[in-house]
Each structure stands twice: as structure tokens, then as C-alpha cells.
Structure 1
């Protein structure tokens, strides 16, 4: 059985961040007494969008990390890119709280997210089309 420690680590981190983002939405919902929608509250809308934006990008990130790790991508670079994604998403979430003007955290978070995803997508294409030697294991021979 293949264990993907980087993917598992960052999937766990992604889950915790997702829960944290949901909690931040719930805090505003409770204080503003808004059960559904944004109730016209700009901070609630911003936090809802930060949460939704996170759920839009994270699946692609996790799929790419998992497949690259499975293909025996560099663990160091994969870990660095995954950590950058996590930091970028946290910066984006805090930056979204600034509803009046674009915050630096939001802009940096967006750029980091996009650069990481572009890097991972490019890396995946290199593996797919230029090949990358994968060591043969006993599982591969037996299966």
C-alpha cells in the first residue's frame, strides 16, 4: 500500500482551514442574527466568499499534490509548494475581512495561490508528457 505523507498532511491542514473558515462565517452569522444568505452584511459576505473561494481552489491543489507525490515528485519541493498554498489561503482569508479596500493579504494570498497552482499544473504536465522515472516496487510487480 502506498502512503502519501505530504498529501495526507496537507489534506488534514486543508480540512482544519476549511473548518476555521466556516467558523469565521458562523461567528458573524450569530452576531448579526443572519441564518441564510448574507443579510446585507458586508463582512459576512466577505467571509462567505473567502470560504467559498477556498473550497473552489483546494480540491485542485490536493489532487495535484496527491498525483505528483504518487509519481514520486520531489518531497521537498512539494512540501514547500503545499506550505505556500496554505499560507496564501490564510492570508487571503484575513485579507477578505477588509471590505472597504483591497488588502495586501488578500492580494498576496491570491497571487501565491495562483502561482502554486500554475507550478503544480506545470509539474504534473512535465511528469505526464516528459516522463519521470518511477522506481519499481514489489507491490507493482505483484499487482
Structure 2
């Protein structure tokens, strides 16, 4: 199976994002919420956005794989998801809230979701 490879890589990424939030909570001395810390809010949203999109994208990738689509389709979706989430992280980590990295990260994430959905709805899509 291919999807577990991408799930594992993304799980490690998620743990790292979680640790960054914990570290910033300690630094800002905030145990709940963002405590008016822009840095903590930024890290919380990076972490939260990841948690909102990645599980559903992985589910669709798994369904594509279980549909016995060619392996390259699964690798393309998984690779695009990793690149997209990395770009999104870079983009949201910058001072300028709207930038090319963030936009490309979300466009890539939405592309994975849309292609995964289409592959599930239209068996001969790929």
C-alpha cells in the first residue's frame, strides 16, 4: 500500500506543527486560546488548517488507491499534498498574510481534494 507512506510523513509533519504550538504557548505563557499573541495565533492556524484539510485529503487518496487506480495517481496526489502543505506552512509563517506560498499551498490542497473526489465519482477519471 502507498497511502500509509504519505500518512506517516504527514503525521510527522503534524507532530512537528503541534510541538511548535506547544513551544509558543510556553513562551507566551498561554495555556488556552492565543492570549493576544500574533505569533501563537499564526502557529495555531497553521496547525489547525493542517488538521482541517489533511485527514480528508488522505481519506480520498486512500480511496483512490483502493479503487485500484494506477500507483502513479496515488503518488501524484500524495506528493502534491505534501508539497502543498509545506508551501502553506511557509506562506503562513511569513509576516505578509497573503502571499504566493500560501495561495499555492491552498490551491494544491484543493487540487488534491477535487481530483480525489472526481476519481471516486468517475471511475475512469484518471
Same fold (TM over 0.5): yes
Provide the residue aligned with 1:34 in structure 2: 30
Contiguous gaps of at least 5 residues in structure 1:
133-143
**Other structure's SS at 1:119 match:** helix
Shift of 1:108: 1.0
2:42 corresponds to which of 39, 46, 60: 46
Which stretches of structure 1, 4 residues or longer, exceed 3 Å deviation after superposition? none
Rg comparison, structure with higher value: 1
Provide the residue aligned with 1:21 in structure 2: 17
- Provide the aligned C-alpha RMSD in A: 1.8
Provide the residue aligned with 2:86 in structure 1: 90
TM-score, scaled to structure 1 = 0.80
Instruction: Sort the Cα spacing of 1:39 and 1:131 in 2 relative to 1 into closer, same or farther, 3 A.
Output: closer
Shift of 1:13: 1.1
Provide the residue aligned with 1:124 in structure 2: 120
* CA displacement, residues 42-88 of structure 1 (integer Å, 9 cap, x when unaligned): 12111101111111111211111111111101111210121111111
Contiguous gaps of at least 5 residues in structure 2:
none
Instruction: Sort the Cα spacing of 1:54 and 1:100 in 2 relative to 1 into closer, same or farther, 3 A.
Output: same
